[in-house]
Amino acid sequence: MSKTVLVVAAHTDDEALGCGGTIAKHVAQGDEVYAVFLADGVTSRPDASAEELEERNAAAAKAHVVLGIKKSYMLGFPDNRMDSLPLLDIVQKLEGVLDEVQPEVVYTHHSGDLNVDHRITHQAVLTACRPVPGASVKEIYAFEVLSATEWNTPGVTPFIPNVFVDISDHIETKMEALAAYELEMRSEPHARSLANARRLAEFRGSCVGVSAAEGACLVRWLR
């Protein structure tokens, strides 16, 4: 039986980094996958331009075709300034997407990421996906994003995956989607390089005896 899946990410490219292989696997299994991006991902940069935002959105559109995402929503909150906004404003806009999509499965950021937009996105998801009677969401998972999840202060809640998705058959799709974000990727030895993304998938795979995997933390699961 097919499922409706929603990926809630702070910025375009987070979805490919965090769960690109998982998205491709869902699509291959006949599930419908949607994505919503809370912040624009560009406006915090010095001399950011409208053209730069257009380029990033074009890269996202290309990556989403590769991954098989059915529809994406851009909420347009200010990049790396989501802590300056009332949480209610973010939650209400996210609730509008949830009401339209009615997902059963949600993937989002880990609560301990260094990036402030990632942390607020996690909080907004947990608020918008409150387990009230009749809620569509039955599963919530937190993914890891290179150059955010592993960079936070020691002592902050670490990312310790307890769910592993075998993406051995979908690693090349993930890599193709990341290649679409070439302006956001970096050269080695930067954490957010294509080579390191592949290494992480291989490492997570080796943890569970498969060629490639993505790790996630189970946040909620209603059976």
Query: Is the model's pLDDT at 74 over the cut of 90?
Result: yes
- Per-residue b/e over 15-34, b at no fewer than 16 CB within 10 Å? bbbbbbbbbbbbbeeebbbb
Query: Is the model's pLDDT at 185 over the cut of 80?
Result: yes
| Domain encompassing residue 151 | 4-221
Give pTM, 2 decimals: 0.96
Residue 50 is predicted with a pLDDT of: 72
Pairing status of strand 163-166 against strand 213-221: antiparallel
Domain of 98: which CATH number?
Answer: 3.40.50.10320
Average pLDDT value over all residues in the chain: 95
Q: How far apart are the first and last CA of the chain?
A: 15
How sure is the predictor about 51, in pLDDT bands with cuts at 50, 70 and 90?
confident
Residue 54 is predicted with a pLDDT of: 87
Q: What value does the mean pLDDT take over residues 19-27? A: 98
**Total domains in the fold of the chain:** 1
| Secondary structure percentages of the chain, helix, strand, coil, to 5 | 40, 20, 40
- 109-168 tens-digit pLDDT: 999 999 999 999 999 999 999 999 999 999 999 999 999 999 999 888 999 999 999 999
Whole-number Å distance between alpha carbons of 137 and 29: 19
User: What does the CA dihedral 94, 96, 97, 99 come to, rounded to 10 degrees?
Assistant: 120
Helix axes of 171-180 and 194-207: crossing angle, nearest 10 degrees: 150
- Per-residue b/e over 189-223, b at no fewer than 16 CB within 10 Å? eebbbbebbbebbbebbeeeebebbbbbbebeeee
Residue 48 is predicted with a pLDDT of: 65
Residue 178 is predicted with a pLDDT of: 98
Whole-number Å distance between alpha carbons of 104 and 82: 26
